[in-house]
């Protein structure tokens, strides 16, 4: 039995084709007027160009980060994602999103952050996402909370500092010629059982030792510390980290906890770094630093294979430093520093006060604009340390974005990011 085929009347096909044509025309009209709107709206047109955030021209944060080149972060992402070369276009937006979160004090929880890119198509696009193909919430949460652990963030900051160094060199600038070092407290959330009390700061929490480039206000290095731990031990650790990325610090201004004999000696002869500090009450001339004592100590190593007859004083000091005779070497440089400081007491006191005030002001700026200690997401020190490290990376990212787009002044200013 033959199968009978029923065909639609011809007029139905014509009506269907007309409907498709009408829909196409309607879509084309909407697209045309949308383009006209964009063409006549100068604020939309300028969104494609980099604008430096200043008092006169504040810039929305995601628009600013849109112009961040992230190729420098490739070594980190390759270690986290074996298929990096195939998915890097999906990973760069996640890095921008993490920076965006730390630059926005009102978005310190991943759930709030995810709602923003879900509900605001423009922000999602600026950060590099496809608003119609967003990663799910768990993917974002896992990336920020799990994959970015302390080791990864530590590596990320130093790769970033190295990139900032290269960018500054494009403009004939150097990173690390003069630096400031100090520890700043991180106040714990109420009821945190892991936090200790410090009578000097009058708070419970922890500390972060920060080494900052004096001219460019870029964070060079950091160390996480218990609040009652001696921050002076951080100085050599920071210099060692910077040496690994070929950054030599010429001079560090620090308070009296840092210029120990060991720090003075090793900083000078291992890393080529001088320390500037105010002499502390109770410091007296140490005879171990006298030239005669240096010579006498050096002669004890006359059988050593590196021993030189008639060696210069600088060689003797470097040799003794290598042997661990820090008391002699450190005393020599501290005696000399105290003598020079007292000889130009007014100038040195004024310089020390200005540089220390600059450091403290910048730390306060960090706390005010970044929620350095006021926006801790959770209790426990691991969360406090992670949050504060991300803040440092975010500040440095602002500096790097400016450098990549031809700006060399006020690199770390975030006051006019909205």
Q: In the predicted model, what is the mean pLDDT of the chain?
A: 86
Task: Choose between 240 and 41: higher pLDDT.
Answer: 240
| Residues 69, 359: Cα–Cα separation, whole Å | 29
**Is residue 13 very low, low, confident or very high in pLDDT (cuts 50, 70, 90)?**
very low
| CA 364 to each of CA 186, 288, 358, 361: distance values in angstroms, whole numbers, following the listed order | 12, 40, 10, 5
How many Cβ atoms from other residues are within 10 Å of residue 348's Cβ? 18
Spatial neighbors of 341 by CB under 8 A, at least 6 apart, are 278, 279, 348
Q: Tokens representing 120?
A: 């605001």
Phi and psi, residue 385, nearest 5°? -65, -40
pLDDT (average), residues 213-233: 94
Q: CA 111, 113, 117, 118: dihedral to nearest 10 degrees?
A: 20
- What residues does each domain of the chain span? 61-148, 175-378
| Residues 213, 181: Cα–Cα separation, whole Å | 9
Q: Tokens representing 207?
A: 């500390």
Task: Choose between 115 and 28: higher pLDDT.
Answer: 115
State pLDDT tens for residues 290-299.
Answer: 999 999 999 9
The backbone region for 245, taken as left when phi is positive above 0, alpha when psi lies in -120 to 50, beta otherwise, is alpha
| Model pTM score | 0.84
Q: Tokens representing 140?
A: 């974002």
Give the pLDDT score at 415.
87
Which range (19-28, 326-335, 409-418) has the least confidence? 19-28
* Closest to 219 (Cα-Cα) out of 142, 153, 136, 312: 153
| Residues 224, 382: Cα–Cα separation, whole Å | 10
Give the pLDDT score at 38.
40
| Residues 109, 63: Cα–Cα separation, whole Å | 21
State pLDDT tens for residues 48-71.
Answer: 788 899 888 999 999 999 999 999
3-class DSSP assignment, residue 170? coil
Task: Choose between 88 and 6: higher pLDDT.
Answer: 88
Q: What angle do CA 12, 16, 21 make, to 5 degrees?
A: 145
């Amino acid at each position: 039995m033959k199968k009978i085929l029923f065909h639609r009347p011809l007029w139905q096909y014509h009506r269907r084709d007309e409907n498709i044509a009408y829909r196409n025309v309607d879509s084309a009209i909407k697209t045309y007027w949308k383009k006209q709107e964009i063409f006549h709206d100068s604020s939309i047109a300028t969104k494609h160009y980099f604008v430096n955030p200043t008092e006169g021209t504040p810039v929305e944060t995601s628009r600013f980060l849109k112009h961040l080149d992230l190729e420098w972060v490739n070594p980190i992402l390759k270690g986290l994602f074996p298929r990096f070369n195939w998915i890097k276009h999906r990973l760069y937006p996640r890095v921008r999103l993490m920076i965006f979160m730390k630059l926005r004090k009102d978005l310190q929880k991943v759930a709030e952050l995810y709602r923003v890119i879900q509900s605001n198509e423009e922000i999602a696009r600026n950060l590099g996402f496809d608003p119609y193909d967003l990663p799910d919430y768990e993917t974002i949460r896992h990336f920020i909370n799990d994959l970015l652990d302390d080791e990864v963030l530590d590596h990320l900051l130093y790769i970033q500092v190295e990139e900032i160094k290269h960018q500054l060199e494009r403009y004939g600038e150097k990173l690390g010629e003069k630096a400031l070092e100090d520890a700043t407290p991180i106040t714990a959330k109420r009821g945190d059982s892991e936090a200790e009390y410090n009578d000097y700061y009058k708070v419970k929490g922890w500390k972060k030792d920060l080494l900052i480039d004096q001219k460019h206000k870029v964070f060079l290095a950091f160390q996480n510390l218990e609040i009652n731990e001696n921050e002076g031990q951080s100085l050599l650790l920071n210099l060692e980290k910077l040496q690994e990325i070929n950054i030599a610090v010429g001079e560090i201004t620090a308070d009296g906890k840092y210029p120990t004999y060991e720090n003075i000696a090793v900083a000078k002869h291992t890393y080529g770094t001088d320390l500037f500090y105010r002499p502390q009450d109770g410091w007296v001339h140490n005879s171990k630093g006298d030239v005669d004592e240096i010579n006498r100590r050096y002669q004890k190593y006359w059988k050593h294979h590196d021993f030189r007859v008639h060696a210069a004083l600088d060689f003797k000091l470097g040799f003794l430093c290598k042997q661990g005779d820090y008391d002699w070497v450190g005393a020599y440089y501290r005696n000399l520093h105290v003598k020079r400081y007292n000889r130009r007491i007014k100038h040195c006191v004024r310089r020390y006060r200005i540089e220390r005030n600059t450091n403290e002001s910048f730390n306060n700026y960090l706390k005010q604009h970044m929620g350095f200690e006021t926006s801790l997401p959770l209790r426990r020190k691991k969360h406090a340390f992670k949050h504060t490290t991300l803040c440092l990376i975010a500040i440095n990212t602002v500096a790097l974005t400016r450098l990549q787009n031809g700006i060399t002044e006020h690199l770390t200013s975030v006051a006019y990011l909205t």
